[in-house]
Amino acid sequence: MSDYNSMEFMICVAAGFMENGCSAVVGTGAPCAAAMLAQKTTAPDMLMLFEAGGIAPLLPTMPVSVGDSRTTWKALMASSMTETMSLTARGMIDYAFLGGAQIDKYGNLNSTMIGLDYKKPKVRLPGSGGANDLASNCWRTMVITPHEKRRFVEKVDFITSPGYLSGGNSRNEAGLPEGSGPYKIVTNLAIMGFDNPERRMEIESLSPGVTIDEVEENTGFELLVKPDVKKTPPPDGKMLKILREEVDPHGYIIGR
């Protein structure tokens, strides 16, 4: 049970950040797996929400979309996207779990396009969905993503979901809620945060066997480094067992 892959590692690490009693809007895939795992281990009273309107479900199995009927299983409410987004706009949601094709040093996310010509991009991506609303209004944004130089870029080609924009106080100056913004970036190589005056991405903890040089080699911009960088502990056997047998027994996510 001690062996694990990078996806299992990232899901377990992200789940560990969820405090009991917190609220989180999650999407499908790794964010949903992390939320389910947290609810079954360290945060049994976590309030989970889905973009399509499922509020506080007790997921029986892994949903395949945010509108899957399982996202309302034993839920407090089977509402609508309007209700979920309204809750974020009222400042009632602690966490948003997001992803994207690109992320920059200020935590801005791109899930819209690759290229510089909006009308004729190199790659057209799915777009925002509700991600912009969630990144704008939820208090803390969490990102789970593989650590690759093509994803971690100096400047995103398009800001789909705002991070700290151009750094410093620019997020607040743009009218977004003071105190909100990117919280943790969880990758297979490191955990990074933004707890500095520049609001730049900063290495806080290294994955087992990973060096700072390795993280920097896989990043397309200069990372800040905390003076007391920690080592992220590997997931324990109990968490892995629950993840594999109860959260994702068919390996839809952890088998990637």
Phi-psi region of 200 (alpha: psi -120 to 50; beta: other; left: phi over 0): beta
pLDDT of 250 reads 92
Render pLDDT for 159-202 as a digit per residue (tens, 0 to 9): 999 999 999 999 999 999 999 999 999 999 999 999 999 999 99
51 noted as active-site residue:
yes
pLDDT at 2 over 70: no
pTM: 0.94
Q: Which of 77-95 are b and which e, b meaning 16 or more Cβ less than 10 Å from the residue's Cβ?
A: eebebeebbebbeeeebbb
Name the CATH superfamily, with its identifier, for domain 6-247: Glutaconate Coenzyme A-transferase (3.40.1080.10)
- The CA-based angle 253-163-255, given to 5 degrees, is 10
Catalytic residue among 8, 19, 51, 202: 51
